[in-house]
Amino acid sequence: MKRRVWTARNLLLLAMLSLTFCQPAMAAALSDDEEASLQVWRLPDLAYPKDNPFSEAKYELGRMLFFDPRINRESVSCARCHHPGMNWANNQARTLINGKVLPRHTPSLINVAYNRSFFWDGRAETLEECIAQHLGGMDMPDMADDTVTRVRLIQGYEAWFRKAFGPKGISAQTIAQSLATFVRGIIVNDSPFDRWAAGDDKALSASAKRGFALFTGKAGCVKCHTPPHFSDFSYHRTGTNSIDPGRYEITGREEDRNAFRTPQLRQIAETAPYMHTGQKATLADVIHFYESAGDVRSRGQELRAFKLDERETRDLIAFLRSLSGTPVRAEVPMLPPVRTRR
């Protein structure tokens, strides 16, 4: 029997065939040339919003604010939960801040610029809105004004805001816009998988290529982790053992109860633990969770059980590891001094 060689081209054709069954609308929109192209899995160029275009001044200002704990009433910087040394996440199932345990696992900021909604339940539609909600303390609206006051008290920020925003100066909006500009620069698009999708057939091991075939075929991962972002940015009920109402808290629709946004997967091997609960410690744990169709059974649950043998599990993990590229580094900036009274 002639052994099949899994090249980039025929694996990607298999992926498109899988998408034909799980996402008819997407498959129907693809031309024959597009279907055969490796480009389908490659990240598009990043587009900045018209009302917050990129500028170097905004980026540098956002970098300072990201690392500055003084702008928050709790003395916690953005980097406290989204640590660059931990791939812009943290390694805790639940984040503890000043004695308070956050109810959901902190996701990584890698490639968050491509998201179509934000937070696990999609309560924010833009990155700027997401940041504004964080600055507002979620359920403490007065914290947004408190943040503005704190920024104004720090000598040096005023000149930076004038440079970045002109006469708009320091406001909750300009703080969110500068932070969003910085966060949009946290991009990974040079993984072995990305190089393979760009045409370098040697970029992936044979095991990872078999894993990609499982990802797009038997395991069915591609049904939710669609190209090119490895996410459909939709909300799914996956049988996680949690009383968290999820998307239901935002929409009030029963079909959204316990539904959570599909995360992107680039750099996934370095951003454990997993799920919105942080309950799964390893990629193997996640795979076994999906094999068994979740931890709990509930009405409307979307998962269907399947079974991988040991080699298939190793191959799928090898593929998921191939989604990791060069870590995004960020130098901690010199922060402006606090204005002192004379």
With bands split at pLDDT 50, 70 and 90, how would you rate the model's confidence at 119? very high
Cβ 58 vs Cβ 183: under 8 Å: no
Domain-located, residue 48: no
Residue 27 confidence (pLDDT) above 60? no
With bands split at pLDDT 50, 70 and 90, how would you rate the model's confidence at 1? very low
Domain-located, residue 81: yes
Q: What is the pLDDT of residue 18?
A: 46
Note the pLDDT tens digit of each residue in 228-281: 999 999 999 988 878 899 999 999 999 999 999 999 999 999 999 999 999 999
Which is more confident, 174 or 199?
Answer: 174
Residue 7 confidence (pLDDT) above 60? no
**Neighbouring-strand partners of residue 264:** none
Domain-located, residue 335: no
Nearest to 78 by CA among 333, 337, 281: 333
Q: What is the pLDDT of residue 149?
A: 92
- CATH assignment at residue 247: 1.10.760.10
Residue 180 confidence (pLDDT) above 70? yes
Domain-located, residue 331: no
For residues 31 and 74, membership in a common domain is answered with no
Domain-located, residue 261: yes
What are the Cα distances from residue 316, in Å, to 170, 211, 220, 261?
48, 4, 11, 22
Report the pLDDT averaged over residues 60-75: 93
For residues 133 and 14, membership in a common domain is answered with no
Cβ 78 vs Cβ 264: under 8 Å: no
For residues 290 and 208, membership in a common domain is answered with yes
Which is more confident, 111 or 22?
Answer: 111
Domain boundary among 152, 183, 214: 183
Residue 299 confidence (pLDDT) above 50? yes
Q: What is the pLDDT of residue 143?
A: 61
With pLDDT > 70 as the criterion, what percentage of the chain qualifies? 83
Q: How far apart are CA 222 and CA 297, in angstroms?
A: 22
For residues 88 and 105, membership in a common domain is answered with yes
Domain boundary among 138, 164, 183: 183
For residues 35 and 87, membership in a common domain is answered with no
Least confident range from 142-146, 175-179, 251-255: namely 142-146
Domain-located, residue 304: yes
With bands split at pLDDT 50, 70 and 90, how would you rate the model's confidence at 32? very low
For residues 100 and 30, membership in a common domain is answered with no
Cβ 269 vs Cβ 324: under 8 Å: yes
Q: How far apart are CA 257 and CA 255, in angstroms?
A: 6
With bands split at pLDDT 50, 70 and 90, how would you rate the model's confidence at 4? very low
Q: What is the pLDDT of residue 23?
A: 39
Domain-located, residue 160: yes
For residues 143 and 261, membership in a common domain is answered with no
For residues 276 and 232, membership in a common domain is answered with yes
For residues 89 and 176, membership in a common domain is answered with yes
Residue 213 belongs to domain spanning:
8-41+191-321
For residues 127 and 96, membership in a common domain is answered with yes
Q: What is the pLDDT of residue 203?
A: 95
Cβ 294 vs Cβ 239: under 8 Å: yes
Reading the block at residue 288, the tokens are 């076994």
Domain-located, residue 334: no
For residues 214 and 303, membership in a common domain is answered with yes
Which is more confident, 173 or 26?
Answer: 173
Residue 158 confidence (pLDDT) above 50? yes
Count of the separate structural domains present in the chain:
2
Q: What is the pLDDT of residue 62?
A: 98
With bands split at pLDDT 50, 70 and 90, how would you rate the model's confidence at 8? very low
For residues 198 and 277, membership in a common domain is answered with yes
